[in-house]
Amino acid sequence: MKRKLMAGALALTMVASLVACGGEKKAASEGDSKEAVTTEKSEAQSTGESSGKHYKFGYTCMDGTNPFFVTIQDKIKELVEAKGDELIVTDPGNDVTKQISQVEDMLSQKLDGLFMNPVDAQGIIPALDMAKEAGVPMVGFDTEVGDMSYLVSYTGSDNYNAGKVVGEDLVKKAPNGGKIIVLDSPTMQSVVDRTNGFMDAIKDHGFEVVAQQDAKGNLQVAMGIAEDLLQSNPDVVAIFGGNDPTALGALAAANAAGIKKCMIYGVDGSPDIKSELASGNSLIEGTGAQSPVSIAEKAVQIMYDYVEGKKVDERYPVDTFLITSDNVAQYGTDGWQ
């Protein structure tokens, strides 16, 4: 009996010793863990790292050389980088196949969002499918895509109104109508909307469209087309350009042809067009103005609201209005409004 009691006491002593040893190891492990965490925090602080979320966004527009889009791109980049985030910029040069390829490449870089302006409203759909499959939200700007359900939101000018105010001005200044040339771009929804607004405004006012051709929104292309058209139609009373570069191309062609009387209209409100209006001796008659700065600011606000879980509307329109020689002084010629 005595031996049994001694054996039991010995066993209890061994268990207590093991428990104590285990507790010491656990305490040491917890201490090491806390020390490691403290060290990591200290290292992070010393290298300036932040525990906040950083975003990587993509940006694509139809033509990165267009001053309008240069302004939008620069403003978006400025606003995104001011938050410590990254903007990947691409320029497809009005080539939808290239744009699709560039979007695919950007998506491979694990984007948090994509700012989308399509070369071709319908042709861009394959790229939209890729972004949707990758779970990358898209904010559209300036030009609509063929299926707006792909976008979380859209911001852009009231393009129909931009063309409409131009048409109304032409009707006022040419009450008897006359021959006109229309330089549009059927693949660019923004230009399609502007052209529709213009055509609706001049309907039943005695105007004859003697030519309507795709200038692709490009100054050089517009100049070449206008040169040919003015040779066979030197008596046109007006030329409507779907954007300001198109109007400037038509202006260069008209000047080269020695045209003295022709009202040329654009849409944008660019510094170059405003300079022509302010000169007092240009064939440029007016422009349906918009604000690329406002579009960029709204696009960035929408994107951050969405990725941070806030509710966004489907559409945020930006006002458009007419600028002529009569009011150009209030908008200035050294920058965009």
110 located within any domain: yes
**Cα(73)–Cα(82) distance, integer angstroms:** 14
The predicted model gives 51-57 an average pLDDT of 83
CATH of the domain at 189: 3.40.50.2300
The total domain count for the chain is 2
Judge contact between 118 and 62, C-beta under 8 A: yes
Are residues 123 and 225 located together in one domain of the fold?
Answer: no
Task: Kindly state the tokens that stand for 304.
Answer: 């951050």
40 located within any domain: no
Are residues 150 and 299 located together in one domain of the fold?
Answer: yes
Are residues 221 and 279 located together in one domain of the fold?
Answer: yes
2 located within any domain: no
The DSSP output letter for 175 is: T
Q: Is 236 helix (H, G, I), strand (E, B) or coil?
A: coil
Q: Which residue has the higher pLDDT, 102 or 187?
A: 102
Are residues 174 and 263 located together in one domain of the fold?
Answer: yes
pLDDT of residue 296: 98
45 located within any domain: no
Are residues 273 and 178 located together in one domain of the fold?
Answer: yes
The predicted model gives 4-26 an average pLDDT of 37
**Cα(233)–Cα(283) distance, integer angstroms:** 16
Task: Kindly state the tokens that stand for 301.
Answer: 């606000």
Dihedral pair phi/psi, residue 110, rounded to 5°? 60, 65
Dihedral pair phi/psi, residue 171, rounded to 5°? -60, -40
Are residues 166 and 241 located together in one domain of the fold?
Answer: yes
Model confidence at 23: pLDDT above 90: no
**Cα(219)–Cα(247) distance, integer angstroms:** 8
Are residues 166 and 244 located together in one domain of the fold?
Answer: yes
The DSSP output letter for 174 is: -
10 located within any domain: no
Q: Is 178 helix (H, G, I), strand (E, B) or coil?
A: strand
Are residues 93 and 182 located together in one domain of the fold?
Answer: no
**Beta 138-141 vs 153-157: how paired, if at all?**
parallel
9 located within any domain: no
Q: What is the pLDDT of residues 170-227, one digit of tens each?
A: 999 999 999 999 999 998 989 999 999 999 999 999 999 999 999 999 999 999 999 9
pLDDT of residue 311: 97
Are residues 163 and 239 located together in one domain of the fold?
Answer: yes
Model confidence at 5: pLDDT above 80: no
**Least confident residue range of 27-31, 96-100, 144-148, 287-291:** 27-31
Are residues 186 and 213 located together in one domain of the fold?
Answer: yes
Q: Specify the amino acid at residue 217.
A: G
Q: What is the pLDDT of residues 113-141, one digit of tens each?
A: 999 999 999 999 999 999 999 999 999 99
Are residues 120 and 234 located together in one domain of the fold?
Answer: no
Of the chain, the percentage scoring pLDDT greater than 90 comes to 82
The DSSP output letter for 168 is: H
Q: What is the pLDDT of residues 258-282, one digit of tens each?
A: 999 999 999 999 999 999 999 999 9
Judge contact between 264 and 238, C-beta under 8 A: yes
**Least confident residue range of 15-24, 280-289, 290-299, 311-320:** 15-24
CB burial of residue 48 (10 Å; 0-12, 13-18, 19+): exposed
Task: Kindly state the tokens that stand for 149.
Answer: 């359900």
pLDDT of residue 287: 98
50 located within any domain: no
Model confidence at 64: pLDDT above 70: yes
**DSSP H helix total and E strand total for the chain:** 10, 12
pLDDT of residue 53: 86
Strand partners, 166: none
Containing structural domain, residue 120: 56-156+292-318
Are residues 204 and 218 located together in one domain of the fold?
Answer: yes
**Cα(282)–Cα(24) distance, integer angstroms:** 90
27 located within any domain: no
